[in-house]
Structure 1
Amino acid sequence: MLAYFLIISTVLFTVFVLFSYWQERKYRNKPYYKLSDVGWRQCVPKPEAQLVHSIAFLGDVGYVATDGSDPVLKLLQEWQHSAGYNGTVLFLGDNLYPVGLPAETHRHHAAAISRLDYLLGIINPFEGRKIFLSGNHDWNKGRKKGLEYVLRQEKHVVEALQDEDSYLPRNGCPGPDTIQLAEGMLLLVINTQWWVQRGEKPMGRQEGCPYDDIEDFFLRLNKILRHNRHQRIVVAAHHPLYSNALHGGKFTIKQHIFPLTAAHKRIYIPLPIFGSIYPFYRQLFGAYEDMSHRKYRKMRKRLLRIFHQYSNIVYVAGHDHNLQHFEVRDNHYIVSGSGSKTSFVKKGGKATFTLEQRGFFVLNYYSTGELWIEAAVANENETSPKPGAVVFRKELHPVLKPIEQV
């Protein structure tokens, strides 16, 4: 009797695994759209709308090719040419893999400097704003001495671009920093890595931060949002507040059955049941970079409690290596983290759009008060659209009062 039970259980488990794997394979590298957004191709700005400002969000570009062949950077250059002076290119952190910009004596220093200089060379001729944020990898992968790494990167970027606002927030502080990009459009930058960073992190005026208690950050953030309810607010950070991917606790069947592929993609040693311990741990307790980790969870809860009081916020982050859009309580949450690599993203849930593809989001603000997002892909394989193709477009409500034309 026990033998029959074991055989039936094994067969059912195998069928379940194969079916789940087949379901995942069906939509890997294919766009997912919420039912209400399936007809997005017919949605365009009003004919009389004139572009006021455009923002390109590139997350996790730390592995871009530096030989002139990288499709994301080619797509960025095309966008730079069209956006011109009325554009902002914003790098959402993890600008350098694996550990940011180490000291000159470190074995990775030369390669990191070369990669960073190549990226700076691509954007330096751009007439618009150029802004870098920091991510966990820029902070020595979130480990001790991370502050030294990020300050070294900040100094290099600011000196190269000759712009004090090209790396925000400054001095590794939490922020928030604000820049008025256009009339009716405010950029607000937060250093979310500060909350989850291990080791030294700055706080207090003696370290270049404008307050001595982190609670003052939340008071300052709420004050900025309250005083700017009349305009669009774009919040840029590295860590997403909603995600259907790894850092949001979503794993593939392969990761449950072959958990050692997390260490190396070729280690296909089946460990069913035991292999699920690692994904379940990441879902329940999390690494420092996961939403389920207590520090990340606390930060996310505080930020959302404030954001939910308003309805004019677009929050954009990287961290997960894919493209995602969520609409929650009249605000919009975007993940644009596939600047140099991709990873699995689960369809459905609260998401209106997801795609496991290299590319980035663009936010366009028009004279009519309309605000639109577009997701463009940059690489090509047998299942993807052609490079540079827009794969999602959506107007972000509410529409505010039209801008007065000069």
Structure 2
Amino acid sequence: MLLYFLIIPTVLFLVFGLFSYWQELKYRNKPFYKLSDVGWRKCLPKPEARLVHSIAFMGDVGYVATDGTDPVMRLLEEWQQNTGPDGSVLFLGDNLYPVGMPAETHRHYPAAKERLDFLLGQMGAYAGRKIFLSGNHDWNKGRAKGLEYVLRQEKYVVDTLQDENSYLPRHGCPGPEAIQLAEGLLLVIINTQWWVQRGEKPMGIGQGCPYDDIEEFFVRLNQILRRNRHQRIVVAAHHPLYSNALHGGKFTIKQHIFPLTAAHKRFYIPLPIFGSLYPFYRQLFGAYEDMSHRKYRKMRKRLLRIFHQYSNIVYVAGHDHNLQHFEVRDNHYIVSGSGSKTSFVKKGGKATFTLEQRGFFVLNYYDTGEVWIEALAVPETEDVPKPGVVVFRKELGTVLQPKVQAQQV
């Protein structure tokens, strides 16, 4: 009898695991669309609409190839040529893997400098606006001396591009920083790594930040959103507020059975049942970079409490290495973190679109007041027929009163 109690659960677990794995394989590297967005290809801006401003969201580019062959950077270059000066490129953090920009004596410094020089070389030739944000890897993976690492990267970017606004928020401060990109289109940048960073993080005028209490950040953010509720507001950060991927607590069956692959992709040592302890821990308590971690959870709760008061916000982040779109309470939440590598993303839930593919999102703002987003992807499998295809498009609504005075920011 005891043998049956051991065999039956084991067989059921294996059957469930194999079925789930088969389901995952069916949509890995394939786009998922919410039923209402299946016909997105037929949706286009009005023929008479003229593009006023375009934003390319480049997330987690820290592993791009520097020899000119990288398909995502080629796609960005094509976008730059087509858009011209009426565009902005936002690097959403994790610009340099694995630990950002260390000191010159560090073994990772030569590779970090080479990659950053490559990115800045392509940006230096672009006439539009270019802005770098910081992510957890730029802060020494969120560990001690992270502030030192990010300030070194900031100085290098600002000195090279000769633009004080090319790395925001400055000095590692939380922000928010508001920039008027066009009439009716406002960009707000925040440094979400500040909340989850371990060790030193700046605060107060002595460290270049405009306030001494973090509560002032939320007051200022709410003031910016309230004064500009007639505009379309794009909030850019590194950490997403919604995600169907790893940092949102979503794991593959492989990660449950072979948990050691999280440490190294070749560690295929089966640990069924016991292997689920790690994913469950990440889902319930989380690492510092996970939504379930208490610091991340507290930050997310405060931001969403503010955003839910408005209906004109597009929140864009990286962090998870895929492309995702969510529409929640009339606001839009985008993950554009597959600039240099990809990872599993789960379909369904609150998502309207997900794709495990390298690429980036673009936001287009037209003189008709229309605001559209597009997801551009490059091929890694036969599911995407050619480079640079649009794999998703959606209108986010119309800015009814596009005129705004600069002092309102």
TM-score range for the pair, normalised by the shorter chain length: over 0.9
Once residues 109 and 223 of structure 2 are traced to their aligned partners in structure 1, the CA distance between those partners, rounded to angstroms, is: 41
Which secondary structure state, in structure 1, belongs to the residue aligned with residue 325 of structure 2? Answer: strand
**Do residues 28 (structure 1) and 11 (structure 2) align?**
no
Q: Which amino acid aligns with 2:65?
A: A
Contact 1:256 1:272 in 2 (8 A): yes
Return the offset for 1:403: 6.2
Which secondary structure state, in structure 2, belongs to the residue aligned with residue 93 of structure 1? Answer: coil
Once residues 12 and 343 of structure 2 are traced to their aligned partners in structure 1, the CA distance between those partners, rounded to angstroms, is: 28
Contact 1:312 1:398 in 2 (8 A): no
| Aligned twin of 2:162 | 162
The Cα RMSD (Å) is 1.0
- What pairs up with 1:76-91 in 2 under 5 angstroms? 76-91=76-91
Identity of aligned residues (%): 83
| Aligned twin of 1:58 | 58
Output one character per residue of 1:102-134: Cα deviation in whole Å (capped at 9) or x when no partner: 001111111110110011111111010000000
Return the offset for 1:399: 4.2
Once residues 401 and 109 of structure 2 are traced to their aligned partners in structure 1, the CA distance between those partners, rounded to angstroms, is: 49
- What pairs up with 1:250-261 in 2 under 5 angstroms? 250-261=250-261
Once residues 118 and 296 of structure 1 are traced to their aligned partners in structure 2, the CA distance between those partners, rounded to angstroms, is: 32
- Structure 2: unaligned runs, 5 residues or longer: 405-409
Contact 2:143 2:199 in 1 (8 A): yes
| Aligned twin of 1:145 | 145
Contact 2:231 2:402 in 1 (8 A): no
Which secondary structure state, in structure 1, belongs to the residue aligned with residue 85 of structure 2? Answer: helix
TM-score by length of 1: 0.98
Q: Which amino acid aligns with 2:254?
A: K
| Aligned twin of 2:219 | 219
Contact 2:174 2:217 in 1 (8 A): yes
Once residues 126 and 117 of structure 2 are traced to their aligned partners in structure 1, the CA distance between those partners, rounded to angstroms, is: 15
**Do residues 281 (structure 1) and 281 (structure 2) align?**
yes
Once residues 396 and 245 of structure 1 are traced to their aligned partners in structure 2, the CA distance between those partners, rounded to angstroms, is: 23
| Aligned twin of 1:235 | 235
Which secondary structure state, in structure 2, belongs to the residue aligned with residue 300 of structure 1? Answer: helix
Which secondary structure state, in structure 2, belongs to the residue aligned with residue 255 of structure 1? Answer: helix
| Aligned twin of 1:380 | 380
Q: Comparing 381-390 with 253-262, which one deviates more in the overlay?
A: 381-390
TM-score by length of 2: 0.98
Once residues 113 and 381 of structure 1 are traced to their aligned partners in structure 2, the CA distance between those partners, rounded to angstroms, is: 31
| Aligned twin of 1:302 | 302
Return the offset for 1:34: 0.2
Return the offset for 1:88: 0.1
* Compared CA separation, residues 126 and 368, structure 1 to 2 (3 A): same
Return the offset for 1:402: 5.6
Return the offset for 1:387: 1.3
Contact 2:257 2:275 in 1 (8 A): yes
Output one character per residue of 1:46-102: Cα deviation in whole Å (capped at 9) or x when no partner: 111100000000000000001111000000000000111100000000000000000
Q: Which amino acid aligns with 1:105?
A: T
Output one character per residue of 1:8-63: Cα deviation in whole Å (capped at 9) or x when no partner: 22221111110000000000000000000000000000111100000000000000
| Aligned twin of 2:180 | 180
Contact 1:358 1:377 in 2 (8 A): yes
Contact 1:359 1:379 in 2 (8 A): no
